[in-house]
Amino acid sequence: MTPFTYHRAADVAGALRLAGQSAASRYLGGGTNLVDLMRETIERPDALVDVSGLSQAIEVDARGGLRIGAAARNSAVAAHPVVRERFPLIARALLAGASGQIRNMATTGGNLLQRTR
Amino acid sequence: MMANTPPEKNPMEFTINGSPVQATFDPRTSLLDLLRDHLGLTGSKKGCNQGACGACTVLVDGERINSCLALAVQYQGRRITTVEGLAEAGELHPLQRAFVVHDGFQCGYCTPGQLCSAIGMMGEARRGMPSVVTQDLAAPVAMTLDREELRERMSGNLCRCGAYNGIVDAIVETFDIGIPEGAASGSATRREPA
């Protein structure tokens, strides 16, 4: 694994600022995909900006849509009562993927930023 | 500029099996390597080192994770429990005793991960976490998990010896899981791995 500098972002503005400080930074959620790719030196970031401390909120917005914080864990989203009652396809899709251990680590933000495979 | 700079080390602190641990580590260190190589806690095993086999499963604040995919630096300040921390006052955890009684292992390599995973899994079930075999997602999750559901919930832990029936029996006995009426016993529903 290539050496990197680790930063933990306290908020969104901080995450953007930290990520802008280096040319090859990556955001780090649960690490279930990125850490593996870094170990294989497929990904070689010089800085990791840990965003797992950002919002984990799961809430319905004014238009009836679902708003999920980037740091919300897959397991938390799948277990959320509103997701299960009103957006069951999301819960089912999450529960059909990976394992219990990985669902406890993986985040919504990390899923969206996952490298194409 | 950064490419040739030696990696900086980060001071980290954890609570591991109830004891505070403070040290300075390269941020590339996985939680598994921290436990095994730096702290001598070799109970957690390195199988695939890529999150597929579950041999490295530990509990973080009671939740099961794969420690091989976890950068230790992310878990600072957290309460980590490994297989070495399951026994209390010299007494094996009831699940450990049940694994012995039910032959929940042969070679034992996957056992530390199976134990931690099962304890985390039961916590999930008690908190109402559904699984992919849950019929009605809108209904509360009942504590009558059948063996098929236990297998699904434990599917992140592979056992190359194939001790799955014993593992399921040990979990059923330990956590007093109600098996639904008419459900067949483990041996009767035995299935070959896909």
Q: How confident is the prediction along chain B (194 residues), in pLDDT tens digits per residue? A: 445 555 678 899 999 999 999 989 999 999 999 999 999 999 999 999 999 999 999 999 999 999 999 999 999 999 999 999 999 999 999 999 999 999 999 999 999 999 999 999 999 999 999 999 998 998 887 767 889 999 999 999 999 999 999 999 999 999 887 666 555 444 434 444 44
Give dist(CA B58, CA B65) in Å, integer. 6
Contact B27 A92 (CB under 8 A): no
Report the distance separating Cα A48 and Cα A29, nearest Å: 10
How far is residue B138's CA from residue A79's CA, in Å, rounded to a whole number?
Answer: 10
Residues 6+ apart with CB under 8 A from A63: none
How confident is the model at residue B188, as a pLDDT? Answer: 38
Q: Would you call A51 an interface residue with chain B, using a CB distance cutoff of 8 Å? A: no
Report the percentage of chain A scoring pLDDT > 70.
100
Q: State the nearest Cα–Cα gap between A5 and chain B, in angstroms.
A: 7
Cβ proximity of A46 and A7 under 8 Å: no
- Predicted local confidence at residue B141, as pLDDT: 79
| Confidence (pLDDT) at B180 | 61
pLDDT (0 to 100) of residue B8: 78
Tell me the torsion sign for CA atoms A108, B53, B67, B92. Answer: positive
pLDDT, residue B4, reads: 56
Strand order across the A47-50 sheet: A5-8, A47-50, A25-28
- Residues in chain B with CB shorter than 8 Å from the CB of A101 are 51, 54, 57, 64-66, 117, 120, 156
- As beta bridge partners, residue B25 has B10
d(CA A67, CA B136): 23
pLDDT value at position A79? 97
Q: Which tokens sit at B22?
A: 């403070």
Where b means 16+ CB within 10 Å and e means fewer, B67-102 reads: bbbbbbbbbeebebbbbbbbeeeeeebebbebbeeb
Collapsing DSSP to helix, strand or coil, A37 comes out as helix
Do B74 and A91 count as a contact with CB atoms less than 8 A apart?
A: no
A116 token code pair: 């194409």
Helix intervals (H) in B45-194: 94-101, 111-126, 147-153, 164-175
Residue the block writes with tokens 């989203």:
A77
pLDDT of residue B176: 81
Instruction: Note whether A88 contacts B64, CB cutoff 8 Å.
Output: no
Place of tokens 């490419």: B3
Structure confidence at residue B181 (pLDDT): 55
Q: Which residues of chain A have pLDDT under 50?
A: none
| Predicted TM-score of the model (pTM) | 0.92
Q: What is the residue whose two structure tokens read 């004891």?
A: B19
pLDDT computed for residue B178 by the predictor? 65
CB spacing of A92 vs B137 below 8 angstroms: yes
Distance from CA of A71 to the nearest CA of B (A): 13
A contacts of B69 (beta carbons < 8 Å):
30-32, 35-36, 102, 105
ipTM, two decimals, is: 0.96
